[in-house]
Amino acid sequence: EPEVTQTPSHQVTQMGQEVILRCVPISNHLYFYWYRQILGQKVEFLVSFYNNEISEKSEIFDDQFSVERPDGSNFTLKIRSTKLEDSAMYFCASSVESPNTGELFFGEGSRLTVL
Amino acid sequence: QQQVKQSPQSLIVQKGGISIINCAYENTAFDYFPWYQQFPGKGPALLIAIRPDVSEKKEGRFTISFNKSAKQFSLHIMDSQPGDSATYFCAASSRNDMRFGAGTRLTVKP
């Protein structure tokens, strides 16, 4: 069964360092998303991406964050200068259609620890 | 800004009982309301979803009730089983994004 894959599964970084989280969405999906979850709490929307541009972003997704689809298969989230409060589980998701039409498929997450 | 409010935060139910989780939303642009189930160490997975043109949807032991005028919806899990123990998130979607509620940690005791 096709699945969303995320790397790394866990990354530890020093405050102020740049981090890139990588995702390979399901191959025929057109919509891509990043969410984060702090310590098993609420799953917070960061950004949605369609047709090579950001469709929507939340107030969390400030200038420190960026997303890119560098080729036909990867979807990345970059955090330019990490803060302690960026420590969280980051989930990538993808969908065939728009989010109000069908299911979002989530990866297993990348745990980011900022020291 | 909490666009989707969910309660309770945690719920303990005996095996065979009914689990009920409630959600409310503000933004009338939302037009699709899924429920996601998350097990520890995993990403959320779709459980069941409803559109606002129907008031109820049932799939097996899971039922969503939807009240469009009140902007509220709820998940009922009938005959709850220990294997249902997980965190449940309601969500609300518009064309560009999907927002989750805060989650309900359900524990079903044998």
A100 with B43: Cβ contact below 8 A: no
Q: Is B98 on the interface with A (CB under 8 A)?
A: yes
On the question of pLDDT at A40 being above 80, the answer is no
The model's pLDDT over B46-85, given as tens digits with 9 standing for 90+, comes to: 999 999 999 999 999 999 999 999 999 999 999 999 999 9
Q: Is B42 on the interface with A (CB under 8 A)?
A: yes
What confidence tier does A85 reach under pLDDT thresholds 50, 70, 90?
A: very high
Nearest CA in chain A to B98: A99
Nearest CA in chain A to B48: A103
CA atoms within 13 A on the CB side of A43: 30
Min distance A98 CA to chain B CA atoms (Å):
6
On the question of pLDDT at A61 being above 90, the answer is yes
What strand order describes the sheet that includes A19-24? Answer: A5-7, A19-24, A75-79, A65-68
Mean pLDDT of the region B8-34: 96
Mean pLDDT of the region A17-27: 97
Percent of chain B with pLDDT over 90: 95
Distance between CA A108 and CA A66 in Å, rounded?
21
C-beta separation of A75 from A49 below 8 A: yes
On the question of pLDDT at B1 being above 60, the answer is no
Provide residues of A within 8 Å CB-CB of chain B. 4, 33, 35, 40-45, 48, 50, 55-56, 58-59, 91, 93, 98-101, 103-104, 106-109
| DSSP string for A37-57 | ESTT--EEEEEEEETTEEEEE
Strands A75-79 and A19-24: antiparallel
Output the pLDDT for position A5: 97
B43 with A108: Cβ contact below 8 A: yes
Cβ-based neighbour number of residue A52 at 10 Å: 7
Output the pLDDT for position B58: 97
Nearest CA in chain B to A109: B43
Taking every pair of C-alpha atoms in chain A, what is the biggest distance, in angstroms? 40
Output the pLDDT for position B2: 67
User: By three-state DSSP, how is residue A85 classified?
Assistant: helix
Mean pLDDT of chain A, nearest integer: 95
User: In Å, how far are A21, A45, B36, B97 from A79, measured between CA atoms?
Assistant: 8, 15, 27, 21
What confidence tier does A72 reach under pLDDT thresholds 50, 70, 90?
A: confident
Mean pLDDT of the region A56-77: 94
Q: Is B84 on the interface with A (CB under 8 A)?
A: no
A24 chain-B contacts, CB cut-off 8 A: none
A56 with B46: Cβ contact below 8 A: no
- B/e letters for B51-81, b = 16+ CB within 10 Å, e = fewer, are eeeeeebeeeebbbbbeeeebebbbbbeebe
What confidence tier does A19 reach under pLDDT thresholds 50, 70, 90?
A: very high
